[in-house]
A and B are shown apart, each in its own frame.
Chain A
């Protein structure tokens, strides 16, 4: 790794940190502007003006926003996510198990969707314009256009209600064997794979085709390289940057954007936890979830950018 690469990577990491700080600011003030008073929502029917005032004081809700922000960000810095307003449990404890569940789902989905997307994307590019390419294109565009609640609900209707092959609900904490794991994860993973893989197939195909059109690939062709060698040895390494970027963008969705899948399969993941937290105005929980989603997104895109930098032959 030479000096130029090092400085590019360092500046990319610095950008990530600054972005994270800006996001934390935005998350904090956006959630503070949610309508409805936290204390009043927590007290429900028992909310008398005195009780609300007392609770607001106890929860430091009367402090200026900037003080509350600094206290929060300071806590985050030391790994303290705060205490939930709704049930007084540490936020870290509430998030813990749910986060693991989300990571499991995201992991299994990645394991399936990435190889599938690469396979279809690259082969479609290799046989561009053929019947095979057109079939792949037709299905990926079709899947991108169908909203995931439609995919998920149809899957439940077909495989659970009519065929009774798979459970309609996915309980991550009831898995004792590999068979059970497959049964429980089957439908959520299929649904998510449909959604994310379709995007990745399109982007991979476009990136590979673009490099196939460059002069050096033409040169390799003229020198008599076989088609697979042309694609895998000459074109693919140069298309790696955009492909990894597309994958990172699609996969970052798996952490926070899967609320519909979690809702339909009743999967106890972190996205649903955040939606619940918004409903109860549990701000420490909402803010921590938002930061986790943001962090996941930044890690993936930063990773993709670094891979793109390292894969760039001009910097080697």
Chain B
């Protein structure tokens, strides 16, 4: 392929493949490639290859080995306490949720058969029948009631206690029906219950070391901070079941070591590949990358209540000074979509496509800084390894500033303690937000007046009211309209600059098939173990 095209790399293959999955038409793809200087004949070959990867039939059997980024003695099999990708991978393999978010971010039924509501406040959930836990117990409504109520118990220490707080009551109506009442309407409930923490555990479980769930794998071995092994569940309720016989998961925190382990054939799949290592993986035969536009981002936060963020024009100037294209192309090596300063990513159905990102315009920025009376002053920007790629982004901003006589003092601080001491605290600093499935969660978490992580101290009563109104709406079109306007408000008025939505890049052996992007994160939203297969 490289003989007939110029500059065409497997990264671009991954991009095309991703576009096909997102539903791009053949015509759009051809335009994309022609723009990239690919001849018509070559482009149909690329399309044929990318399409073939998607249409293969699963092969059964084999032992899958995969590595994540971090593990510690705090690793857990308790879904409520799961906090890192390693925990998510395990709980996705051993348990199930009521719903499962598909690649478009839409909630599909998993343990639930249906979700019904009239007012988005009282929900009736019918459960699938004949689902059994690993220990042989049949799933019933009592298990769901127990699992959901756990998040409301402060002694459990659930990571989603704040989100779960809107659940006013959970009742078992009969053996297979549960009624969930919210304290106020929320049309997103099926999506929310598709998040990792809402996995269903057996009633009364307090010891989670056995991982007794309904999932596609049973726990064979679990050693916190070291590794875990799962065996295929023979009694799995989905007839397809898992494709592989077993899977092993552990963490290799050093990125170079992770890539080397993959290239050496010790593992089949490695997540979170740094853009800098991508060329190394691509240069080897039999390996490929999977790119997921999950919507996580690293953003520059300027507090509106502290100097210099409180000076009229300063934040607007910064929005013009951030060279989004350069950040997307050079810092993130193209593995990102350009951001328009609001938290909802283009992969989300509620993304406002009409809201354009501010163009890079140093002259306009200079003019605005002059108006704010800050030109010539030295302004500190706090960056750290803790917020992915923030140091590189800070340097890009510093360079742009130097060209117009604006001095930025990039303060590089240690990762250790960053989220306690600098994030939300320093007048100008970087944040790093993981993808969330709904606009409501993002806005409530980051931009509402009461938001616990209001990074720039953005406060607007009208915004709060709209947030509340949209939450209970079952009318999708009306809802989209409100969220569109909220995105414009945040983009214009908040002090958070979101230059790009980052893609999560996983690297995998050519033997691994069936891995699809998922909005809940890399490695198929961490649920890869159940779905991928190994080609002999």
- On A, residues with C-beta under 8 Å from B are 35-37, 40-41, 43-46, 51, 84, 86-87, 89, 94, 97, 153, 156-157, 160-161, 164, 167-169, 171, 173, 263-266, 268, 273, 276-280, 282, 285
Contact = CB atoms under 8 A, between A and B. Distances in A.
B154 A35 contact: no
A87 B254 contact: no
A266 B83 contact: no
Contacts of B58: none
Interface string B210-226: 00000000000001111
Given A36-B417, A168-B266, A169-B261, A43 B73 contact: no
Given A169-B261, A171-B227, 20 more contacts: A36-B421, A44-B83, A46-B158, A46-B159, A46-B161, A84-B73, A86-B72, A87-B74, A89-B73, A94-B73, A97-B223, A153-B260, A161-B260, A164-B264, A169-B266, A263-B253, A264-B254, A276-B225, A278-B416, A282-B73
B264 A156 contact: yes
Contacts, number: 98
A276 B420 CA distance: 18
Interface string B58-97: 0000000001000111111000000100000000000000
B73 A51 contact: no
A153 B256 contact: yes
Point out which of A87, A169, A278, A282 has the most chain B C-beta atoms below 10 A from its C-beta.
A169
B257 A263 contact: yes
12 contacts: A35-B416, A46-B157, A153-B260, A160-B260, A160-B266, A171-B227, A266-B250, A268-B225, A273-B73, A276-B225, A280-B74, A282-B73
A273 B420 contact: no
B257 A266 contact: yes
B416 A279 contact: yes
A44 B159 contact: yes
Nearest to A86: B74
Interface of B: 67, 71-76, 83, 154, 157-159, 161-162, 223-227, 250, 252-254, 256-257, 260-261, 263-267, 416-417, 420-421, 452
A164 B261 contact: no
B73 A35 contact: no
Contact of B72 (A89, A153, A265, A280): A280
A276 B224 CA distance: 11
A167 B266 contact: yes
A51 B72 contact: no
Point out which of B72, B73, B253, B256 has the most chain A C-beta atoms below 10 A from its C-beta.
B73
A168 B73 contact: no
Contact of A161 (B161, B263, B420): B263
B466 to A, nearest CB: 25
A273 B225 contact: yes
Nearest to B259: A161
B420 A36 contact: yes
- For the residues of A in contact with B, the DSSP-based class is helix
A96 B260 CA distance: 29
A164 B262 CA distance: 12
Nearest to A266: B252
A303 B67 CA distance: 41
Given A43-B157, A87-B76, A87-B224, A157 B260 contact: yes
Nearest to B76: A87
Nearest to B420: A36
A45 B416 contact: no
A167 B225 contact: no
Contacts of A40: 420
Contacts of A268: 225-226
B73 A277 contact: yes
A87 B81 CA distance: 11
A156 B73 contact: no
B516 to A, nearest CB: 27
Contact of B162 (A45, A97, A276): A45
Given A276-B225, A279-B72, A280-B74, A168 B159 contact: no
A29 to B, nearest CB: 18
Point out which of B154, B158, B225, B264 has the most chain A C-beta atoms below 10 A from its C-beta.
B264
A9 B76 CA distance: 48
B257 A156 contact: yes
B508 to A, nearest CB: 16
A280 B67 CA distance: 21
Given A94-B73, A161-B263, A168 B157 contact: no
A168 B260 contact: yes
A279 to B, nearest CB: 7
A303 B376 CA distance: 64
A160 B75 CA distance: 29
Contacts of B224: 87
Given A160-B266, A167-B266, A268-B226, A86 B73 contact: yes
B226 A276 contact: no
Nearest to B158: A46
Given A35-B417, A35-B421, A263-B254, A161 B264 contact: yes
A34 to B, nearest CB: 8
B106 to A, nearest CB: 26
A35 B420 contact: yes
A94 B75 CA distance: 12
